[in-house]
Amino acid sequence: MSETNEGAANATNMDLLRFATAGSVDDGKSTLIGRLLLDSKSIFADQLEAVEATSVAKGYDYTDLALLTDGLRSEREQGITIDVAYRYFATPNRKFIIADTPGHVQYTRNMVTGASTADLGLVLVDARQGLTEQSRRHAVILSLLRVPHLVLAVNKMDLVDYSQEVYERIHAEFTTFATKLNIPDLEVIPISALAGDNVVNRSENMSWYSGPTLMHHLEHVHVASDRDLVDVRFPVQYVVRPKSDEHHDYRGYGGQVAGGILKPGDEVVVLPSGMTSTIEGIDLFDQEVTEAFPPMSVTVRLADDVDVSRGDMIARVKNAPTPSQDIDAMVCWMTTTPLKPRQKLAIKHTTRTARALVKDIQYRLDVNSLHRDQETKELGVNEIGRVQLRTTVPLLCDPYSQNRTTGSFILIDEATGITVGAGMINSGA
Amino acid sequence: MTTTHADYRLSQLDQLEAESIHIFREVAAEFEKPVLMFSGGKDSIVMLRLAEKAFYPAKIPFPVLQIDTGLDFPEVLDTRDNWVGRLGVKLVVASIDDAIAQGVVIDDGKTSRNRMQTATLLNAIEENGFTAAFGGGRRDEEKARAKERVYSHRDEFGQWDPKMQRPELWSLYNGRIHAGEHMRIFPISNWTELDIWDYIGREGIEIPDIYFSHQRRVFERDGMLMSETPLNPLRAGETVEERTVRFRTCGDISLTGCVESTASTIPEIIAEISIAKLTERGATRGDDRFSEAAMEDRKKEGYF
Ligand SMILES: Nc1nc2c(ncn2[C@@H]2O[C@H](COP(=O)(O)OP(=O)(O)O)[C@@H](O)[C@H]2O)c(=O)[nH]1
Ligand SMILES: [Mg+2]
């Protein structure tokens, strides 16, 4: 049986906001997500009942909303978040994907995982404590990851008598710190995740605050303009060759548009070979489209029989990345054995995998003071530093500040197969 | 249908589709021997549709694997055959009964079919040498699933270690495995139940009839409505009556309950789900009810 949804539910036209929480342990991240889900009526009765029952069993005075996202047994036992939990909710015009990330320093790599795809970072601080090393570290990471929008939620306002003075002090302290970072859009909102003030409903306890509630801000923050629609970047992922009688000569290049707008008739260059051709057609399943833009997954056909394979990139003749084997990047190191010069690793950049040699570790970034430590020549777990790499084959990259897809890479330990580092390419490399 | 948008915005459903297609292509390009685990339910049908789109006009470049529990709904098997036939993909069926007969799985009379399904699956993966297995798990389904990566590493025993998951950044997936290990791939991780229905409606694709309202002879057990079938003998005190129902998930007949519903079209189902008070698993899956961490424990052992 099959029916078509004639009414075209609103859900099909909604846009999407991905956001990640950040902040120290116990600042209230998981509670806040629970509150957002609860007040936007996205919690199901069986989920709430399970959480209420567990809270009673543990002898808590109130329902611990954090239990809604702390889904692993060891997380509930220890009352902490170890790994990212993804949660979903929607309001009439927007769907939200939340990455609830852990606050502990030793789980920073999981925080980075959750934040890498975010449009918005939500940093919580406990109003009683103000900024901590962890909240600074997370703000730095969000800024390095170029998460374009940042919200500082000053939480637990109920425990400081909803004091405007406390809010203003933290606001000022953060603004000073943020001048050294790259944060294009900042909003500072006083909330109580536990009591619900300014989360979905406007607080009656903070008449001095005239800004948006958190939910209002999440619903209205403008994200469409964060993509690069100018510089065409199409990493070839998969060569589609049906080899059937019906589609005997079909040869298409499957991939997800990383930047710019592709159109049939466009003159393009295939990198690294440098061969040029014209886009003959762009297919989306059994239909031809007149344009493809990020983040569409399409199949591109070229007019000429040029040699194209996975790992290559299609760009415009006059606007293409320069292939390079020397990479200068900020690297976030994610494993206990430190990163050292001369080390060899596997590197994955867009659809291209190669090997990389660590030529130099220029400095380690102190995330608290933003001081560049040039003495230490290695990076420990959860540390961030500026690293020079030499790769076995040229990578077709852009600065991360220009394009989050063509500017990022991961490092893999060849012996264990584990992802050990995340890199963001610097400009002028 | 997606063509172009004047403002270059992609709806959230189109964004999810693009992300899933990217994952399918990535796996097909990097893994030696992928397979798609097909349960017959709406999620695996959506996976098949996405795989069809990812490689079109070429055929899906990997086979489909189904675990025959002996407790599958006949409507589900019909739908499976229609899909497999239309797409021209190879179907591999691994049956629990065969696995028991071969001594690969032990039926001690106490273990549920659901648990034996895990052993049968792991055996099928090992026997066929599959290196990547696509699953239709969604993160909104259950709190342990909410934690799982898109590429979820399994050791030689097929086990998942939730405390040692690899970091997974941007859309750069790491598919490295050692001999004997495999990767579970969840291309529809970020879809919600509602997205699945919106997509089925938009694409106009075939799903098993049991998702739509129908008359069925049912009885109540543990607060759920279960089908009357010889596969599921009545216990003392249980009585059968005919009700108007539909299924929200399709698992094993003996464990999957249905809900009272008159929704017989996709828009009606969408309307019903939008106001549903219970999660689909909470409402209809006996297998998740045993303990608060039932799903996590089964996943660690190698369940779907
Ligand atoms: N009084 C008060 N307590 C809060 C508030 N938000 C969170 N908490 C409490 O702070 C503790 C830590 O919260 P949790 O959400 O687990 O923090 P996380 O580690 O950041 O995820 C819990 O006991 C919460 O109930 C708040 O706004 N006011
Ligand atoms: Mg938490």
A28 C-beta closer than 6 A to ligand 1: yes
CATH code of the domain covering residue B87? 3.40.50.620
Which residue, A316, A332, A349, sits at the end of a domain?
A316
Q: Which residue, among A97, A382, A76, A235, has the nearest Cα to B167 in the 3D structure? A: A382
For residues B103 and B242, membership in a common domain is answered with no
Which residue has a Cα nearest atom 9 of ligand 1?
A28
Residues of A in contact with B266 (CB under 8 A): 3-5
- Give pTM, 2 decimals: 0.91
For residues B154 and B216, membership in a common domain is answered with no
Are residues A188 and A178 in contact, defined by beta-carbon separation less than 8 angstroms? no
Which residue, A289, A316, A343, sits at the end of a domain?
A316
Q: How far is CA A105 from CA A23, A378, B223, in A?
A: 10, 18, 44
Q: Which of A5, A72, A83 sits opposite B266 (nearest CB)?
A: A5
For residues B115 and B147, membership in a common domain is answered with yes
For residues B242 and B263, membership in a common domain is answered with yes
Q: List the pLDDT tens digit at each of the 429 positions of chain A.
A: 333 333 334 556 788 999 999 888 888 988 898 888 887 777 766 777 777 787 777 777 777 777 776 666 666 666 666 778 898 988 888 999 999 888 777 778 888 888 999 999 999 999 999 999 888 889 999 999 999 999 999 999 999 999 999 999 999 999 999 998 989 899 999 999 999 999 999 999 999 999 999 999 999 999 877 788 999 999 999 999 998 888 888 999 999 999 999 999 999 999 999 999 999 999 999 999 999 999 999 999 999 999 999 999 999 999 999 899 999 999 999 999 999 999 999 999 999 999 999 999 999 998 878 899 999 889 999 999 999 999 999 999 999 999 999 999 999 999 999 999 999 999 854
Domain count for chain A: 3
pLDDT at B102: 86
pLDDT at B256: 85
Which of B73, B170, B207 is the mutation pick for testing A, counting most A CBs within 10 A?
B170
Which H or E run includes B175?
A: none
A159 C-beta closer than 6 A to ligand 1: yes
Which H or E run includes B92?
A: strand B91-95
Q: What is the pLDDT of residues A372-383, one digit of tens each?
A: 999 988 999 999
Q: How far is the CA of A31 from the centre of ligand 1 (A)?
A: 6
- One-letter amino acid of B108: D
For residues A90 and A192, membership in a common domain is answered with yes
Q: How far is the CA of A81 from the centre of ligand 2 (A)?
A: 4
Are residues A396 and A406 in contact, defined by beta-carbon separation less than 8 angstroms? yes
CATH code of the domain covering residue A343? 2.40.30.10
Of ligand 1's listed atoms, the one at least distance from the Cα of A197 is 27
CATH code of the domain covering residue A174? 3.40.50.300
Q: Which residue, among A111, A88, A87, has the nearest Cα to A101 in the 3D structure? A: A111
Kind of pairing, strands B64-68 and B34-37?
A: parallel
For residues A250 and A380, membership in a common domain is answered with no
Q: Is 60 exceeded by the pLDDT of residue B6?
A: no
Q: Which of A1, A227, A283 sits opposite B212 (nearest CB)?
A: A1
Q: What is the pLDDT of residues B26-69, one digit of tens each?
A: 999 999 999 999 988 899 999 999 999 999 999 999 999 999 88
ω into A399 cis (within 30 of 0): no
Q: Give the CA angle between residues B83, B87, B88 to the nearest 5°.
A: 110
Which residue, A316, A337, A357, sits at the end of a domain?
A316
In 3-state terms, what secondary structure has residue B249?
coil
Structural domain contains residue B5: no
Q: Which of B11, B25, B176 sits opposite A254 (nearest CB)?
A: B25
Count of residues making up chain A: 429
Q: Residues of B numbered 162-201 whose beta carbons fall under 8 angstroms of chain A's beta carbons: which are they? A: 162-163, 165-172, 174, 176-178, 189-190, 192, 194-195, 198, 201
Average pLDDT, chain B: 88
Residues of B in contact with A46 (CB under 8 A): 277-279, 282-283
Q: Which residues make Cβ contacts (< 8 Å) with residue A209, sequence separation at least 6?
A: A164, A167, A189, A190, A198, A203
For residues B139 and B48, membership in a common domain is answered with yes
For residues A258 and A365, membership in a common domain is answered with no
For residues B34 and B170, membership in a common domain is answered with yes
For residues A333 and A382, membership in a common domain is answered with yes
- One-letter amino acid of A310: R
Q: Which residues make Cβ contacts (< 8 Å) with residue B168, sequence separation at least 6?
A: A113, A419, B149, B150, B151, B174
B283 part of contact set with chain A, CB < 8 Å: yes
pLDDT at A70: 66
Tell me phi and psi for residue A304, to 5 degrees. -105, 160
Provide the percentage of residues in chain B whose pLDDT is more than 90.
58
For residues A340 and A260, membership in a common domain is answered with no
For residues A181 and A124, membership in a common domain is answered with yes
What average pLDDT score do residues B259-283 get? 80
Tell me phi and psi for residue A391, to 5 degrees. -105, 155
What is the DSSP secondary-structure string of A58-112? TT-SS--GGGGT--SHHHHHHTS--S-EEEEEEETTEEEEEEE---SGGGHHHHH
A34 C-beta closer than 6 A to ligand 1: no
Q: What is the ipTM for the molecules in this complex? A: 0.91
Structural domain contains residue B1: no
Structural domain boundaries, residue B201: 195-288
Q: Which of A15, A85, A404 sits opposite B12 (nearest CB)?
A: A15
For residues B20 and B152, membership in a common domain is answered with yes
CB–CB contact B53 A412 (8 Å): no
For residues B140 and B205, membership in a common domain is answered with no
B222 part of contact set with chain A, CB < 8 Å: no
Which residue has a Cα nearest atom 8 of ligand 1?
A28
Which of B1, B3, B11, B12 is the mutation pick for testing A, counting most A CBs within 10 A?
B12
Q: What is the pLDDT of residues A63-75, one digit of tens each?
A: 777 777 666 666 6
For residues A407 and A327, membership in a common domain is answered with yes
Are residues A106 and A115 in contact, defined by beta-carbon separation less than 8 angstroms? no
Structural domain boundaries, residue A68: 3-226
The lowest-confidence range among B2-11, B195-204, B212-221, B271-280 is B2-11
For residues A240 and A222, membership in a common domain is answered with no
Q: How far is B100 from chain A (nearest CA, A)?
A: 31
Domain count for chain B: 2
For residues B183 and B214, membership in a common domain is answered with no
Q: What is the pLDDT of residues B149-185, one digit of tens each?
A: 999 999 988 888 888 899 999 999 999 999 999 999 9
Structural domain contains residue B3: no
Of ligand 1's listed atoms, the one at least distance from the Cα of A69 is 21
